[in-house]
Amino acid sequence: MQVSCGIRFLVIKGYNSRVALPHHHFPPPARTPTISFRSASAQRRRIRAGASGGGSEEGAMAPAPSAGFPLRFPNPWLAAAVALGLGQLYILALNDALLPAALRALYYSIVGDNATARTIAVVATAVHVVEGQRQRYAIVGGGFAGVAAAWHLLALTHPRAVDLDLFDAAGIAGGASGAAAGLLHPFSPKGKLLWRGEEAMQHALELLAVANAHRDRIMQQQSKTPHPTALHESTPGNHNAVPVTKALSTPEPATSSTRSERLGGGGSGEVGTSGHVPGHEEGTGDVSGRISWAQPFLRPAADERQAAAFSRLSAQLPENNSGSSRTGNNGSSRGRGRGASQGASVRAVGVDAAVAAVPGLPEQALRSAVGPDLAGSAALWIEGSHVVHPERYLRALWGACEGSARSAGGICRLVKETVTSLEELEASQGPYAAVIVAAGAAAGALPEIGDRLPMELCQGYTLDLAPQRSAPSGASEEASTSGHSHADKYQGPSLLGSTYLAAQGCSHLVAGATKRYGLSSRQALEECGRAVRDPAEAAAAAAELLPRASVVWPPVARWDVVGVRSGVRALPQRSAQGSLPLAGKLEGGRKWWVVAGLGARGLVYHAWLGRLIACAATTDDESVLPQELRRWQHRED
């Protein structure tokens, strides 16, 4: 049993037992009390006074006016039961650091107040019987899938109190999720709706709303605080990023944005709480701590073959879903209504419409790529889409998880240590009612998983870009002659393709990504949380990506590289329905579950998958998972 060190100390001594409550809980009674709550410090002063002969016991038992108001009960057992119940409610309200009640009882036994110690021990034992039934869950991995599973697990068990431990040595968003560009939409490169894409998008938008609501609450609390604690994060907002100059000659060391309050823990790991939401960031313009931006995406066709696919898609769409648009959320929707339930829509547009929608788009290059016959379906225009800042989103969602656990009387912890084996995890930290492995590309590093998941690992770099502080004198003239004069004041587009751009506000672009295949799970584990500090490594990544991004959107050549990030994706084998994630229960009679293989679609699938795996783990029912996700269990090696 663990109780809060801030709880009023429980004293039960025959019919003269007292429990003192804070003034705001109950009005003062009219008669002499039989039960009162008193603070632990007041109880220690009473014991010391009694040991030194200072005053009668009855005088020592009388509570000070500030200790609270007494309540009267005719029976000591009824008094004990009420005190226990009120004490538990007070524990939940305080939410302070936790201390074992048995140790406190031992302390009072040592100092001589044996009657009080015996009473406390009895009550602590009784509560331990109740609290011992509280279930504990573990999640391995603090990325998209892991944090989403945590939220849904707590939601499914609410209002029952559960304890949840999330293990990730790199912290929240420390792996590939934190290095993602954050492009949220449910469509394939050909414009087709992904398998379960509509409901996946719906769940993703719901979790995005949860994170934004939590962030708004934190910002509101900070605005009411006279001297709020500064919550800094590395520029441009990911602790894997290292600021670099255009020449990438003087990289600065990356600074972690994880702010953990140390609670304890064993081994070399650190146990703490996370979930802070950054406020304003210096040097990032309109980002200002925002989590997401609702904006349309454009996917220019890479060649005639892709343009032909766009043309076929256009023929399948209703007539009122064709044409061009420069607005973000006014098109027809495939979803169910507006707001959090609003879906995304897609349509083919011609070269002229694409260039009008995205100033600076290379018109001649696009016409050459698609040819004259397919100029009317040169690009896809996606509405109802969002750009998400992955780290801020996951930290806000984790903060919401902490609040959800706290409201039910449970505990939600971030354990910053590496899990090397599920067996060892259960032995050292368990037992757990269920363990969910959501470790992405590093899942295979666990011996219980190994190479059972058919995934190919791919490491890639992304660039964080910001506009130059002062454009060179010839910038306007250059833009005018190149046909990109309107792009100088344009915030930057979100473009899909083999080289992509994600606009996070007016002054931050994420460009990606390089690809390097053939990594092992152990290498992926080592890559998690690694900052790109080597100047040569950062320069090589920028040298490869920046020219490619400039081909897609030429004005980006005048943006500065301010950060380079690295991540490893776990790409699943393609199936008849496309590249689908993997989920299911591990064999061996243990309640161990895995969700992996989200690949490039982690953002759109993570919330839906998190709910499915949480439901399966809490009910121990694998049938809630679609067979398509469990295909890895039946493959022939």
Question: What dihedral do alpha carbons 427, 431, 434, 439 form, nearest 10°?
Answer: -30
Quick one: tokens of 18?
Answer: 């007292």
Mean pLDDT value across residues 103-127: 48
User: Could you report the per-residue pLDDT of 369-394, keeping only the tens digit for each?
Assistant: 999 999 999 999 999 999 999 999 99
More confident residue, 328 or 592: 592
Rounded distance, CA 326 to CA 307, Å? Answer: 20
Alpha carbon 494 to its chain centroid, in Å, reads: 23
More confident residue, 26 or 54: 54
Rounded distance, CA 163 to CA 76, Å? Answer: 32
Q: Which range scores top for mean pLDDT: 125-129, 216-220, 236-240?
A: 216-220
pLDDT at 576: 83
Contact 596, 453 (CB under 8 A): yes
- Quick one: pLDDT band at residue 120, thresholds 50, 70, 90? low
- Quick one: pLDDT band at residue 623, thresholds 50, 70, 90? very high
Quick one: tokens of 306?
Answer: 């892709």
Give me the count of residues in the chain.
637
The residue assigned the tokens 């419409």 is 353
Q: How far is CA 201 from CA 9, 94, 599, 614, in A?
A: 50, 37, 16, 18
Q: Is residue 415 part of a domain?
A: no
pLDDT at 226: 57
The residue from 93, 110, 131 where one domain ends is: 131
Rounded distance, CA 631 to CA 577, Å? Answer: 12
pLDDT at 589: 78
Q: Is residue 23 part of a domain?
A: yes
Q: Is the pLDDT of residue 491 over 90?
A: no
pLDDT at 229: 39
More confident residue, 339 or 426: 426
Residue 55, number of CB atoms within 10 A of its CB: 13
- Max CA separation in the chain (angstroms): 103
Rounded distance, CA 244 to CA 165, Å? Answer: 36
pLDDT at 315: 61
Q: Which range scores top for mean pLDDT: 24-28, 66-70, 170-174, 331-335?
A: 170-174
More confident residue, 443 or 11: 443
Q: Is residue 449 part of a domain?
A: no
Q: Is residue 560 part of a domain?
A: no
What is the domain extent for residue 81? 2-131
Q: Is the pLDDT of residue 252 over 50?
A: no
The residue from 384, 401, 428 where one domain ends is: 384
Mean pLDDT value across residues 54-82: 45
Alpha carbon 77 to its chain centroid, in Å, reads: 46
204 membership: H or E segment, kind and range: helix 197-224
Q: Is residue 197 part of a domain?
A: no
Rounded distance, CA 432 to CA 437, Å? Answer: 13
Helix (H, G, I), strand (E, B) or coil at 98: strand
The residue from 355, 384, 413 where one domain ends is: 384
Q: Is residue 519 part of a domain?
A: no
Q: Is residue 347 part of a domain?
A: yes
Quick one: tokens of 518?
Answer: 């053939």
Quick one: tokens of 281?
Answer: 């960031």
More confident residue, 509 or 76: 509
610 membership: H or E segment, kind and range: helix 602-619
State what percent of residues in the chain have pLDDT above 70.
61
Closest by CA position to 353, among listed 313, 326, 384, 316: 326
Pick from 51-60, 207-216, 268-277, 462-471: least confident: 268-277
User: CA 603, 369, 380: angle at the middle one, nearest 5?
Assistant: 35
pLDDT at 313: 86
Rounded distance, CA 508 to CA 241, Å? Answer: 13
Overall domain count for the chain: 2
Q: Is residue 13 part of a domain?
A: yes
User: Could you report the per-residue pLDDT of 70-101, keeping only the tens digit for each?
Assistant: 445 455 566 566 656 655 544 443 333 334 44
